[in-house]
């Protein structure tokens, strides 16, 4: 039964064409929000919004490359024009190619920062005037355990997600006077389309990845819906007094030492 935990809210979800972003957008719509599916891939984004609508939700696709400030500004203005307001922003779009220190070229470093750190900065910057106009709201940044704990082959990504955590804490303080909350969600290890494709490039099959889940804390991979439940909470009024928080949806994986040669290090 639909509980309406975000009934009437207008929520922008970046990177919502697939994976964690799609699961969040879909669950937010199920819970009564009007959602904007923002993604740089047009056909996939249109299809995601159409699927949510076919299931009875309210959704609209707006093509956005979060690395572009004018796209992010246009995304927020267009959302407010179409739906009349913005109550929530889920900064989910991300890109996570592997690379050790010496493998990471300046070009790769820049591209990773653009999507994972500069994108959320642009989206926050251009959402804030609309959130303020709505009397307050909630921003949720999708981070990673790499923002806190080291993995040797994710140097640029870790720097971006660590920066995003620092920005989350800074904005939580800076925007509190506007009744805007800002939080950080850690999804654990999720076998999304993006994650599976990345491992496939390195010759790691879905079967091997799935098997690796058995050795994780609590015995399985996290799934996109595990994160979506947390996102609904942090974008709803149930979390009205939660800001500057980090919510780990990783089965406690971050409490365990990194095992050299573990599958997620691939
Ligand atoms: N999958 C995991 O195990 C995992 C773990 C921790 C954190 N995360 C984070 O969760 C988020 C979602 O990851 P996912 O696994 O669902 O990824 P995914 O690759 O399956 O989906 C990412 C989506 O973001 C979109 N996107 C990428 N760059 C974009 C850009 N510049 N502008 C707009 N859209 C863009 C893609 O088109 C895609 O639809 C990312 O921020 C990622 O860093 C994922």
How far, in Å, is the centroid of ligand 1 from the Cα of 177? 31
- Ligand 1 pocket: which of 187, 201, 254 to mutate (most atoms <8 Å of CB)? 187
CB 94 within 8 A of CB 17: no
| 29-33, 102-106, 198-202: range with lowest mean pLDDT | 198-202
Does ligand 1 have an atom closer than 6 angstroms to the CB of 97? no
* pLDDT at 152 (0 to 100): 83
Instruction: Indicate which residues carry an active-site annotation.
Output: 157
pTM of structure: 0.97
What stretches of the chain show up as alpha helix (H) in DSSP? Answer: 19-30, 42-54, 69-83, 106-113, 119-133, 155-175, 193-201, 206-213, 224-235
Using CA positions, which residue lies closest to atom 40 of ligand 1?
A: 94
Token look-up 């058995």 returns 214
How far, in Å, is the centroid of ligand 1 from the Cα of 19? 7
Does ligand 1 have an atom closer than 6 angstroms to the CB of 40? yes
* pLDDT at 257 (0 to 100): 74
Domain boundaries, the chain: 10-186+224-248, 188-221
Right CATH number for 10-186+224-248 from 2.30.110.10, 3.40.50.720, 2.40.50.140, 1.20.1440.230? 3.40.50.720
Instruction: Note the pLDDT tens digit of each residue in 123-178.
Output: 999 999 999 999 999 999 999 999 998 888 899 999 999 999 999 999 999 999 99
* pLDDT at 2 (0 to 100): 61
Does ligand 1 have an atom closer than 6 angstroms to the CB of 93? yes
CA angle (135 as vertex; 14, 170 as ends), nearest 5? 60
Residues 6+ positions from 237 with CB-CB distance below 8 Å: none
What's the token pair of residue 59?
């959704």
CB 11 within 8 A of CB 88: yes
Using CA positions, which residue lies closest to atom 29 of ligand 1?
A: 93
Q: Which atom of ligand 1 is nearest to the CA of 45?
A: 39
């Amino acid at each position: 039964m639909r509980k309406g935990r975000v009934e009437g809210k207008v929520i922008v979800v970046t990177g919502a064409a697939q994976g964690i972003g799609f699961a969040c957008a879909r669950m937010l719509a199920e819970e009564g929000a009007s959602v904007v599916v923002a993604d740089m891939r047009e056909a996939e984004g249109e299809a995601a919004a159409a699927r949510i609508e076919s299931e009875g939700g309210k959704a609209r696709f707006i093509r956005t490359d979060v690395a572009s400030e004018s796209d992010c500004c246009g995304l927020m203005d267009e959302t407010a024009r179409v739906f009349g307001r913005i109550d929530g922003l889920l900064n989910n779009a991300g890109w996570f190619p592997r690379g050790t220190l010496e493998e990471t070229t300046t070009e790769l470093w820049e591209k990773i920062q653009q999507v994972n750190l500069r994108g959320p900065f642009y989206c926050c910057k251009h959402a804030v005037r609309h959130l303020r106009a709505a009397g307050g709201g909630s921003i949720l940044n999708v981070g990673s355990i790499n923002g806190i704990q080291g993995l040797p082959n994710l140097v640029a990504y870790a720097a971006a997600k660590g920066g995003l955590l620092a920005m989350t804490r800074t904005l939580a303080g800076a925007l509190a006077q506007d009744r805007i909350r800002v939080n950080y969600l850690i999804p654990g290890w999720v076998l999304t389309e993006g994650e599976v494709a990345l491992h496939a490039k390195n010759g790691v099959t879905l079967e091997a990845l799935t098997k690796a889940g058995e050795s994780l804390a609590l015995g399985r991979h996290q799934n996109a819906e595990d994160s979506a439940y947390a996102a609904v909470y942090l974008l709803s009024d149930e979390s009205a007094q939660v800001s500057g928080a980090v919510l780990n949806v990783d089965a406690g994986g971050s409490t365990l030492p990194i095992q050299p040669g573990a599958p997620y290090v691939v």
